[in-house]
Amino acid sequence: MLQTSAIDKLSFPIPAESNSSVLQEISSTYYQLTPNEVRDRCFAAKETLGDSVFILAHHYQRDETFQFQDASGDSLNLAQVAKKQSAQYILFCGVHFMAESADILTSDDQAVILPNLTAGCSMADMADVDMVEDCWDELIEACGENKFIPITYINSSASLKAFCGKNGGIVCTSSNSETVLQWALKQGKSVLFFPDQHLGRNTANKLGVPKENIRLWDRQNDGGLTAEDLKNTKVLLWNGYCSVHTRFSVDQIKAIRSRRPEVKVIVHPECSEEVVNAADFDGSTNKIIQIIENAESGSSWAVGTEINLVHRLHQKLYPREGKHIECLNPHVCPCSTMYCTDPVNVLWVLENLIEGRVVNQIKVPPETARWAKVALDRMLKLS
Crossing angle of the two packed helices 129-143 and 158-166, in degrees rounded to 10? 20
Taking the mean position of all CA atoms in its chain, how far away is CA 32? 31
**Domain architecture of the chain: domains with CATH:** 28-119+337-365 (3.40.50.10800), 124-242 (3.40.50), 245-327 (3.40.50.10800)
Closest CA to 266 of 247, 292, 244: 292
Q: What is the DSSP string of 9-48?
A: S------TT--SS--PPPPGGGGGS-HHHHHHHHHHHHHH
* Those residues with Cβ within 8 angstroms of residue 72's Cβ, 6 or more apart along the chain or in another chain: 56, 57, 58, 59, 66, 78
* Those residues with Cβ within 8 angstroms of residue 25's Cβ, 6 or more apart along the chain or in another chain: none
Using CB atoms within 10 Å of the CB of residue 255, give its burial: 0 to 12 exposed, 13 to 18 middle, 19+ buried: middle
Q: What is the DSSP string of 315-370?
A: HHHHHHH--EEEESSTTPPP-TTGGG--HHHHHHHHHHHHTT---SB----HHHHH
Contact 131, 137 (CB under 8 A): no
d(CA 109, CA 220): 41
The confidence score (pLDDT) of residue 80 equals 87
Contact 196, 241 (CB under 8 A): yes
Number of H helices, E strands in the chain: 15, 13
pLDDT tens string 251-294? 999 999 999 999 999 999 999 999 999 999 999 999 999 999 99
CA 53, 58, 64: angle at the middle one, nearest 5? 80
Mean per-residue pLDDT pooled into runs of 10, the chain (383 residues)? 32 40 76 96 97 94 94 86 93 93 93 93 92 95 94 96 97 95 95 98 98 93 91 97 94 97 97 98 94 96 93 89 92 77 96 95 96 95 87
pLDDT tens string 69-91? 999 988 878 888 998 999 999 99
Which strands form 264-267's sheet, in the order they lie side by side? 281-282, 264-267, 300-304, 324-327
Q: Assess whether the previous peptide bond of 115 is cis (omega < 30° from 0).
A: no
* Those residues with Cβ within 8 angstroms of residue 85's Cβ, 6 or more apart along the chain or in another chain: 54, 106, 110
The confidence score (pLDDT) of residue 333 equals 67
The confidence score (pLDDT) of residue 336 equals 76
